Structure 1
Amino acid sequence: MTAHLRILFLFLLIISCSLISLSQISTAAEKPERPNILFLFSDDQRADAVAAYDNPHIQTPNLDQLVKAGFNFRNAYCMGSIHGAVCQPSRAMLNSGRSLYHVPMDLKGVITLPQLLKQAGYETFGTGKWHNHRDSFQKSFTTGTAAFIGGMSNHLKVPVVDLKEGKFENKRTGKKFSSELFVDAAVDFLKQQPAEKPFYAYVAFTAPHDPRMPPETAMKVYENSPPPLPKNFMPQHPFNNGWLTGRDEALTGWPRQPEIVREQLAEYYGMITHMDTQIGRILQTLKDKDLDKNTIVIFSSDHGLALGSHGLLGKQNLYEHSMKSPLIFKGPGIPMNKSSDALVYLYDIFPTVCELTQIQVPSGVEGSDLAPIWRGKSERVRDTLFTTYEDLMRAVRDERWKLIRYPQIDKTQLFDLKEDRHELKDLSEHPEQQERIKKMLAELKEWQKRTDDKQPLTSEHPKPEAIDLTGRKRKPDQHQPDWIVKKYFDSE
């Protein structure tokens, strides 16, 4: 090889290596750092129980900041439940991305969202309420501190356990109020987490689920100014929906006394205000650790609660106040202080997190990715939405209209949510609405077919609608502290 050819060869080799290096640098620069995920999940929190959601009667300054800093879905729903503990199926759907009739309550045989992230190299951490069996917690999380494997508890005596190296240990009774206990665990995790390791932290509060026993400090703001009754308050539900005497409904007597409902509502708000203060500690730790710039924060709740609305107290119904939850996404690439009225399910969170972390969605996941909505690529992920409770109720709604069907009493309700968002004016008997009802019942049946809901919408032997619960009482369950028993039950 001549000297000239050697020089030319060396020149081409240098250029080639330089181009390869530049390509590698460019690829590395284009590949985004995987975001951390912090999931804050409350228990029984109505969609309107956030001050920034047009509620001046509650104090939630830290959630308000999330609202302003993030993107809000104002029509986020739990699909429903197969039994009275609505919390359990809601969490099963959330953690599996599957609809109600396609997921086992113990999540057996189903890949969970934290399990998927763990397989993708994330450190997965869990604290707080896990209502879907201990085995599914073990497979989902790398570590866990102060995990409550159950449904409800006295907030000052929560039975908790830790998870280390795949095994449960340190079983004990918490010595702090539940929200403080779980946030202590989350803060400790964040402080010890290395910056180079992406994490998924799941913080599942038991607040504001009853027994509603807020710390006195959180009640001061409500003592002299208890919140007003809901605009759809009723002394008793106008007909027997099949669950009027269930466990949650027996937390006070009938007819509902306005002063007692206001007291319970104040305690409920106090629980949320106290939880909000604890959430502030987590968000501050993110900032102190300089993790906030690459952490996506999600806040939601498993479903809502009636608390006097429609004469009900619990979540075992399909009215908006009981099936809707707040839902906020905040973080890099997510618009600030924006919202959408798209109809979404809580189980849409699963594929949305997959998209945000660039992880392939597993087969069997039925939820829809919500990111295109805040990116302006679509306005909705579905045209209608279906909710269900036991064999007692089925509902379908679109952007404006909502139909609820009660199979056991052959009753239908129809509401115009644009003009009547509190669901007070049943239009089902209006002649001009009969064609609409027919079409919505057909849509309801289509939803049942798609989700494998086998419940007939009529009954061969309908039960009577009428029921009178005046003066009826019920004893509290074992979770109620003595002072709540004395205040709400002994006085009756």
Structure 2
Amino acid sequence: MYRSLLFLFVLCFAFPTFAAEKPNVLFIAVDDLRPELACYGKQHIHSPNIDKLAESSTLFERTYCMVPTCGASRASLMTGIRPARKRFVNYLTWAERDAPGITTMNTQFKQNGYYTASLGKIFHHPKDNEQGWSEPAWRPQGISWYQRPENQKLHAERQKQGKRKRGPAFEAADVPDNAYADGVLAEKAIEKLQQLQKQEQPFFLAVGFFKPHLPFIAPQKYWDLYDHSQIQLPENYKVPQDAPAESIHSSGELRAYAGIPPKGPVSEETARNLIHGYYACVSYTDAQIGKLLAELDRLQLSDNTIVVLWGDHGWNLGDHTLWCKHSCYESSLQIPLLVRAPGIKGGQRRSALIETIDVYPSLCTLAGIPLPKHLSGQSFVELMHHPDTKWKEAAVSRYRNGDTIRTDALRYTEYTNPKGKRTSRMLYDHSTDPLENQNVAGKRTDESKTLSKQLNQIKGRDGKLGGK
């Protein structure tokens, strides 16, 4: 024991810089990114830079957002607490209003000696939790959504008809990467890394990319990575058998765009163009992430920087006839999550069920800073080290009047009215029906009852601020 204490004494006092050094954090968010990436086994997608990151990271194969809409999802992740029927509800959510007094992730890092900076989209509102950033949150300004003159004109004309009227849902233009916002964001993030590299203070740099969010606009070269004739509609391009009506929405987010009918299905060619455009945007954002990671290497910061890449929620590309997110189906809820950390072996995969509320405590653990008492999630760092670590048996999410639980093989969802009375439910067995084509809740009532009880126990346990 004496020798151990002596060693610590020498470590702390003879080498104070080494002992006090904390890892930096590069926190990369990608809007609307579903786990349709080559590193997730989808070889038709060109995502070489994210795939390269996966080679040095722990890739979590089954990660789920808390709410499938941006503002609410981000607020839940950044506060580390679960949503509820009246908390973290829609895309306009402010974390500081729905969870007043809660220490957000960026604030926790700032209070523990980190320089914190936000570029692009992290919270939905740039001024949300602004006291948690060491400098004002930054976003690209003055950049046109569209680069083709005819699309700029159409967008301007439709904007005069109302804020919900927009130009085309997709665009390919022969322009450089920085003609669009994410290219400018990548350049700004590289510049910020260069500034932070000169500081002695550890940094928490959050970079939130906008694509592949609608509209699906990207330079032509990224569209050219895909053969349009090979673009396929999803196998589950239909409403699941016996699915409750309230599980299917009208894809309202898409309806704002020119060329999209106000209701009903889009044409098959429009569907293919939307899918093609989404793929192009994924590749475009992948290229910007590659530039950022290359600069991290060039500045020799990689060895002491935790890198996290996550999507804020899933996305439907015609799945169950749906476009956008906003549902309790797997395709709306599953996200990619990659974590690279100093001292942890890369190239690993974990199939454990991860909830995005687990990200906050995990980053605190990796950085060696305290975990606030209010957190609902749990650190998965031990799971990164040891794949046989005992872990949670379910991931719970919600959207509006639907609450859903994902276990190893099953997804159970129940819808309730404002008084909490169940109005409908659905159960999908992923061992036999991974695309969720047949609702078997009515046939497998015992399993539905058991999952309902488990779901409501978790909701009740974590439903209040500060509850664990």
For 2:29 and 2:333, how far apart are their aligned partners in 1? 15
For 1:57 and 1:22, how far apart are their aligned partners in 2? 54
Contact 1:195 1:291 survives alignment (8 Å): no
Q: CA deviation at 1:328?
A: 0.2
For 1:445 and 1:395, how far apart are their aligned partners in 2? 10
Tell me how many residue pairs correspond in the alignment: 410
Q: CA deviation at 1:130?
A: 4.1
AA matched with 1:339:
R
- Alignment partner of 1:34 out of 14, 22, 47: 22
Counterpart mapping for 1:395-474 below 5 A? 395-407=404-416, 410-430=423-443, 433-452=444-463
1:154 alignment partner in structure 2? 145
For 1:332 and 1:240, how far apart are their aligned partners in 2? 48
AA matched with 1:105:
W
- Alignment partner of 2:105 out of 108, 113, 116: 113
Between stretches 421-430 and 90-99, larger displacement belongs to 421-430
Task: Answer yes or no: is 1:382 the counterpart of 2:392.
Answer: yes
Superposed CA offset, 1:108-127 (max 9, x none)? 42212111111111111110
Q: CA deviation at 1:148?
A: 6.4
1:372 alignment partner in structure 2? 382
Counterpart mapping for 1:161-200 below 5 A? 176-193=179-196, 194=198, 196-200=200-204
For 1:222 and 1:290, how far apart are their aligned partners in 2? 34
Secondary structure at the aligned position of 1:356 is classed as helix
2:317 alignment partner in structure 1? 307
Contact 1:145 1:185 survives alignment (8 Å): no
Secondary structure at the aligned position of 2:38 is classed as coil
Between stretches 441-450 and 298-307, larger displacement belongs to 441-450
Contact 2:63 2:354 survives alignment (8 Å): yes
2:170 alignment partner in structure 1? none
Secondary structure at the aligned position of 1:229 is classed as coil
Q: CA deviation at 1:235?
A: 7.4
Q: CA deviation at 1:270?
A: 0.6
Between stretches 376-385 and 312-321, larger displacement belongs to 376-385
Counterpart mapping for 1:239-318 below 5 A? 240-241=245-246, 244-248=249-253, 250=255, 252-253=260-261, 254-318=264-328
Gaps of 5+ in 2: 1-5, 153-176
Q: CA deviation at 1:420?
A: 1.7
Q: 1:285 to 1:24 in 2, by over 3 A?
A: closer
For 2:74 and 2:137, how far apart are their aligned partners in 1? 19
1:97 alignment partner in structure 2? 80
Between stretches 347-356 and 395-404, larger displacement belongs to 395-404
Contact 1:249 1:314 survives alignment (8 Å): yes
Q: 1:21 to 1:241 in 2, by over 3 A?
A: closer
1:227 alignment partner in structure 2? 231
AA matched with 2:416:
P
2:168 alignment partner in structure 1? none
Contact 1:256 1:308 survives alignment (8 Å): no
Contact 2:361 2:378 survives alignment (8 Å): yes
Q: CA deviation at 1:211?
A: 1.2
Secondary structure at the aligned position of 2:317 is classed as coil
Based on CA coordinates, which of the two structures has the bigger radius of gyration?
A: 1
Contact 1:153 1:211 survives alignment (8 Å): no
AA matched with 2:431:
K
Contact 2:60 2:349 survives alignment (8 Å): yes
Q: 1:54 to 1:27 in 2, by over 3 A?
A: same
Secondary structure at the aligned position of 2:218 is classed as coil
- Alignment partner of 1:207 out of 205, 211, 233: 211
2:66 alignment partner in structure 1? 79
Q: CA deviation at 1:135?
A: 3.8
2:169 alignment partner in structure 1? none
Contact 1:39 1:299 survives alignment (8 Å): yes
- Alignment partner of 1:394 out of 397, 400, 403: 403
Task: Answer yes or no: is 1:140 the counterpart of 2:137.
Answer: no
Contact 1:128 1:203 survives alignment (8 Å): yes
Q: 1:44 to 1:259 in 2, by over 3 A?
A: same
- Alignment partner of 1:129 out of 89, 112, 121: 121
2:369 alignment partner in structure 1? 359
Superposition RMSD in Å: 2.9
For 1:205 and 1:74, how far apart are their aligned partners in 2? 21
Greater RCO (CA < 8 Å, at least 6 residues apart): 2
Contact 2:247 2:328 survives alignment (8 Å): no
For 2:209 and 2:7, how far apart are their aligned partners in 1? 52
Contact 2:414 2:425 survives alignment (8 Å): yes
2:49 alignment partner in structure 1? 62
Contact 1:342 1:380 survives alignment (8 Å): no
Task: Answer yes or no: is 1:50 the counterpart of 2:41.
Answer: no
Q: 1:24 to 1:300 in 2, by over 3 A?
A: closer
Q: 1:401 to 1:255 in 2, by over 3 A?
A: same
Contact 2:350 2:387 survives alignment (8 Å): no
For 2:7 and 2:271, how far apart are their aligned partners in 1? 72
Q: CA deviation at 1:181?
A: 1.6
Contact 1:46 1:326 survives alignment (8 Å): yes
Q: CA deviation at 1:324?
A: 0.8
Q: TM-score w.r.t. structure 1 length?
A: 0.76
Superposed CA offset, 1:275-299 (max 9, x none)? 1111111111111111111111100
AA matched with 1:66:
L
Q: 1:22 to 1:312 in 2, by over 3 A?
A: closer
Gaps of 5+ in 1: 1-17, 158-173, 454-492
Q: CA deviation at 1:246?
A: 4.9
Superposed CA offset, 1:383-425 (max 9, x none)? 122221112x221121111212233683322111122211113
Contact 1:226 1:262 survives alignment (8 Å): no
Q: 1:395 to 1:153 in 2, by over 3 A?
A: farther
Secondary structure at the aligned position of 2:77 is classed as helix
Q: CA deviation at 1:24?
A: 4.7
Secondary structure at the aligned position of 1:280 is classed as helix
Contact 1:43 1:207 survives alignment (8 Å): yes
